[in-house]
Amino acid sequence: MKYRQTVSLALASAMLILMLAGCAQTAAAEKDSTAVPSSSPSPKSTEKTDLKYSTDQAMSDKAQLSTIAFSGLAFITGSSGADTFFPPGKVADFFGFQYMRDIDTAGYGHNTQFLSRVANNVLYILTDDQKAELTALAREQAPLYLQFAYNRLPLINAFRRDLEGNIPAGTSGLDQNAVKEYTASLYSIDAEMSCGRAETTGAILQSLTEEQKAYLDAMAFDDFNTWPDVPEDTGLKTGMTNSEFVCVMTYASEMFSWYKGSVESDAYFCPERHGTYFGGFFMKDYNAMNNPDYFISTSVTGDKGQEFLDLLDEGQRKLIEEIIPAQKDAITEIASIRRQVSTELRKALAGQSFDEQQVSALIKRYGELDGTISGLYAQRFAEVNRTLTDEQRTALVKLRDLDAAADGTYLFSALVKTPELPDTDFFFGAGTMPADAGVYSVPDGFGTIQEQPKK
């Protein structure tokens, strides 16, 4: 495997997964007709209500079970490299883009053209000064993306160690409190990115002229076909690193979804938004890599999740199914926090100040809750893995149906050489958690291919 890929391939890879960062609902979730939205969209919003896609629906038992089972299949049949594959659109995601993608009536929400089309339109109408604000933010935040990506890796390492039984002598498994404390620290990076993005993009949206607003108003929130096919702003790339350009495209696309959406769309999440350390995104998205016309199936998660459960015996299946009631309180609190954060950040969109300290505290708690459910998933997947028969393992590999190796580590969606990681014994209660755990400095060389300047 050649780790030092060309800049163009690295950028294409990163941009593709940004485009695919939305989460198609599982087939099982779509069939769950019992869920209804917690409230209707704001009357001022241009989005349309779609009962298939709501926070309540994403939290439903069917949606959660299908997604967790799919993650279990990916984790047990996967590898440490596959576990690291992660769409960067899942970071600082309080700006309505995921909902806009999921309800697109044109059917392009999970096509590779979606993000670039909307971002190019926003950049097309911005002034040079407005675009300069985005590039300045990108230069500030690109290192934060890198830090977030790196700090996911020790946790992923600990989860796979637990799955494979490679744990410190004298310990019995994961220390769930250590996992929660670590992810709370990790999400402090998410908080910094979210606040900075809201402040900068909110100010830009406040500065739009009537002509610029009219252009965006003519583009429907939920219909890709109403978005003009404008060319990419190639001049914007000059002097920017790949990471910075990806950030700018992310900001531009989310400016539109934030401007046209509502608190409901900002707070929305899909079933696979949490517990993202188990290789599910790799298994689902790999075939879309470098395939610009690929549409990710909206049923693959539900179908394979159900088949995974069907291959387990009664005791194994119970271990997975009992996750649902065990995580209920955490998922409910996550939904509440996302609404609180989204409501507070929207003050910037209205030209008001928001409480950055409150947002940071809420997102830190969000991270703790993500650690709570992720640690639970890792523990249950490991318990199932220890009891699988040879026949079950063979069947699970066949069900995976993906003969693709991840020879290295994914920096979001770009394959890089696996960096040196800090000791992870503390995740098992052996030793003391370092003071900087979750916010480790990025080692030299990690992500080098992302930092080469565009020409």
* pLDDT score of 60: 93
DSSP-derived letter for residue 335 is: H
DSSP H or E stretch at residue 416: strand 414-416
Q: Which helix (H) or strand (E) holds 29?
A: helix 27-30
Q: What is the pLDDT of residues 66-91, one digit of tens each?
A: 999 999 999 999 999 999 998 877 89
| Integer Cα distance of 90 and 81 in angstroms | 18
Instruction: Please give the pLDDT value at position 414.
Output: 84
pLDDT at 412: 86
HSE-CB of 356 using CA atoms within 13 angstroms: 12
Note the pLDDT of residue 349: 95
Determine the straight-line distance between the first and last CA of the chain, rounded to whole angstroms.
Answer: 26
d(CA 117, CA 121): 6
In degrees, rounded to 5, the angle at the alpha carbon of residue 98 between the alpha carbons of residues 404 and 46 is 150
Residue owning tokens 């008001």: 352
The whole-angstrom separation of Cα 427 and Cα 434 is: 11
Please give the Cα distance from 271 to 100 (Å, whole number).
15
Indicate the helix (H) or strand (E) that contains 409: strand 409-411
pLDDT band at 302 (very low <50, low <70, confident <90, very high): confident
Helix H or strand E encompassing 414: strand 414-416
**Which region among 48-52, 215-219, 244-248 has the lowest average model confidence (pLDDT)?**
48-52
SS3 410: strand
Q: Tell me the pLDDT band of 298, cut-offs 50, 70 and 90.
A: low
pTM, two decimal places: 0.87
Asked if 18 and 70 count as a contact pair (C-beta separation under 8 A), the reply is: no
Q: Distance between CA 45 and CA 35 in Å, rounded?
A: 22
pLDDT tens-digit map of 364-422: 999 999 999 999 999 999 999 999 999 999 999 999 999 887 889 998 888 889 999 99
Q: How far apart are CA 180 and CA 315, in angstroms?
A: 27
Structure tokens at 407: 């020879």
Max Cα-Cα span within the chain: 67
Identify whether the C-beta of residue 32 lies closer than 8 Å to the C-beta of residue 59: no
User: For residue 12, what pLDDT band results from cuts at 50, 70 and 90?
Assistant: very low
The 8 Å CB, 24+ separation contacts for 49-53 are: 50/102, 50/103, 50/222, 52/25, 53/25, 53/99, 53/102, 53/103, 53/268, 53/270
pLDDT given at position 244: 92
The rounded distance, in Å, linking the Cα atoms of 116 and 1 is 29
Q: Are 60 and 132 in contact, with CB atoms under 8 Å apart?
A: no
Position 286 confidence tier, pLDDT thresholds 50, 70, 90: confident
More confident residue, 239 or 334: 334
List b or e across 257-270, with b for residues whose CB sees 16 or more CB atoms inside 10 angstroms. Answer: bbbbbbbbbbbbbb
Residue among 332, 305, 333 at smallest CA distance from 320:
305
pLDDT at 287: 72
Euclidean distance between CA atoms 259 and 86, whole angstroms: 26
Closest CA to 342 of 96, 134, 102: 96
CA-based nearest residue to 363, from 174, 92, 112: 92
CA separation for the pair 403, 283 (Å, rounded):
10
φ, ψ of residue 295 to 5 degrees: the values are -110, 125
For helices 61-77 and 300-310, the axis angle rounded to 10 degrees is 70
**Given pLDDT bands bounded at 50, 70 and 90, which one contains residue 447?**
confident
Mean pLDDT computed over 278-293: 78
Is the separation of the CB atoms in 431 and 423 below 8 Å? yes
CA 301 to chain centre: 16
Of the pLDDT bands very low, low, confident and very high (cuts 50, 70, 90), residue 1 is very low
Identify whether the C-beta of residue 261 lies closer than 8 Å to the C-beta of residue 103.
no
Q: Do 345 and 320 contact (CB within 8 A), yes or no?
A: no
Give the domain ranges of the chain.
7-444
The confidence band for 347, taking pLDDT boundaries of 50, 70 and 90, is: very high
- Reply yes or no on whether the pLDDT at 131 is more than 70: yes
> Contact at 8 Å (CB) between 294 and 113?
no
Q: At which residue do the structure tokens 């030299």 appear?
A: 444
For residue 446, pLDDT beyond 60 = yes
pLDDT exceeds cutoff 50 at 47: no
Average pLDDT, rounded, for the chain: 87
